Homo-oligomer: A and B are copies of this chain.
Amino acid sequence: MVLRLRLYSALYPSWGPICLFPRSFASCSGNPASCCTMPQLGLLHGRAWAVLFGQLRRPPGAVCIRAVHSHSQVAEAALATQLKPHQEKSNFIIKTPKGTRDLSPEQMVVREKILDMVVSCFKRHGAKGLDTPAFELKEMLTEKYGEDSGLVYDLKDQGGELLSLRYDLTVPFARYLAMNKVKKMKRYHVGKVWRRESPTIAQGRYREFCQCDFDIAGQFDPMIPDAECLKIMCEILSGLQLGDFLIKVNDRRILDGIFAVCGVPESKFHAICSSVDKLDKMSWKDVRHEMVAKKGLAAEVADRIWDYVQCHGGVSLVQQMFQDPRLSQNKQALEGLGDLKLLFEYLTLFGIAEKISFDLSLARGLDYYTGVIYEAVLLQTPAHAEEEPRNVGSVAAGGRYDGLVGMFDPKGHNVPCVGLSIGVERIFSIVEQRMKTFGEKIRTTETQVFVATPQKNFLQERLKLIAELWDAGIKAELMYKNNPKLLTQLHYCENTGIPLVVIIGEQELKEGVIKLRSVANREEVAITRENLVAEIQKRLSES
């Protein structure tokens, strides 16, 4: 039952009508919308509520002021947070949602540099740009992410289509290909993706992050596009100067072949693959324990697996595996090994074979990979002695996924795909850390010229002058003050890295000149008004 009583105005005139219905009870019988507009006393302890309520039910003259008063203090405290909704909201802390962050101007400069470098590499390889919406119809994303499906952000059902925020850029790409019946495409896509990661799993793992993807869709002669993906990863990682790196390569069919010949029951393939995937974070001892004790694998089977997954090497390891008595009996594994052999040939021609390691313990998480898989890791020795070694996991990864487009096509027509994703957030934090360690100062604006005056009443001249500079394409600023002090203006230039100042004053106006001052060496020259723009452009192109 809802009771709406007007508190006796003599007691607490500011309260107005309040709803005495405690929040712990079920819904109001009245119109919930109007109910919610009134402050609710429901925050009170049941007992205080009961007493206060009891007093308020009495006829005015019979109210025990003291009883009301004491419990009313509790009520008032509870109400205070609601009486002034825009001030002193005790729960109102200004922050971004968990797992997300703003990017400051300094961070934006670093990000822009990284993204420019990545995109120009993609363009160097002939990729076209593409963009897809931030959210997809929920049904487009279901059954695509295996165990990770619970990490997808859903939108509230507000009466329209059921939507989810995209979890990666690969499934939207497959949806685009199927939707537009595209058979061949080489595209790149830079965009945000969203995942409801548990914050306890991995420190520094964001819920909103940027991905840079490059993918080649289409039926082609084997391993040429796959090799180009690896070449792109090498170019980007070298170009970003992150130090020494390694790209681990494996193949889903080889992994499945290993499991088969070692005696893993087919129903456990997925679970065991998941365990193998943890070898980059956990010791074999712990992984083995997980396989045997938690996933019910026979101990000798686990040990056989270890014989394989501890191996890593170059193309000679591929050859060795071809000769392996057990593995060579498995058709799938032989296919995978054959593709890897061809891949290594191409990587050698590309000049990057020494960066690639055939690593039998590599098992990428996502379900949709069907062939070659790869993952780039930075090698632990930091680029510079003073830096802390950072373990940030992989910085880029990808693989072949031949069955994903077919999941969208009603007739199941496949478009084979291979691609890669650059983990910009991880790279970003490394670069940011490196810049902090070396005290590199980052300019957050690109302003080239500051328009200043030492005198009062020169705003009009400054406005005219700066418009001339802007119209000539020169990046310029001025102080938003009618009468700024010269020293303030010069300090502003020094602090923000603006290289040139144009100074206008009485003298200059009489003589028809502007003073052009270099902030770095403080030298000033007088330039005529007509020559000012040309002189500035000359100086800027020389520096």
Interface residues of A (CB under 8 A from B): 86-89, 92, 94-98, 100-105, 108-109, 111-112, 123-137, 139-140, 153-158, 160-161, 163, 165, 175-176, 178-179, 187, 192, 194, 196, 208, 216, 218, 220-221, 224-225, 227, 231, 235, 345-346, 349-351, 407-408, 410-412, 444-447, 459-460, 463-464, 467, 470-471, 473-477, 480-482
Contacts and interface: CB of A to CB of B under 8 A. Distances in A.
Contact of A97 (B128, B130, B136, B221): B136
Nearest to A208: B133
Given A105-B187, A131-B102, A480-B225, A86 B412 contact: yes
Given A86-B412, A133-B102, A470-B231, A220 B480 contact: yes
A55 B474 CA distance: 86
A92 B139 contact: yes
A159 B221 CA distance: 48
A444 B127 CA distance: 8
Given A349-B467, A410-B87, A481-B220, A96 B446 contact: no
Contacts of A208: 133-135
A194 B134 contact: yes
A96, A98, A196, A412 — most chain B CB neighbours (10 Å): A96
B129 A196 contact: no
A216 to B, nearest CB: 8
A446 B125 CA distance: 9
Given A87-B412, A467-B351, A470-B231, A445 B158 contact: no
A108 to B, nearest CB: 4
B482 A133 contact: no
Q: Which 4 A-B pairs have the closest CB atoms?
A: A108-B129, A220-B480, A105-B128, A100-B133
A102 B140 CA distance: 14
Nearest to A128: B105
A126 B408 contact: no
A98 B161 contact: yes
B221 A135 contact: no
B475 A124 contact: yes
A109 B129 contact: yes
Contacts of A130: 102-105, 108
A89 B137 CA distance: 15
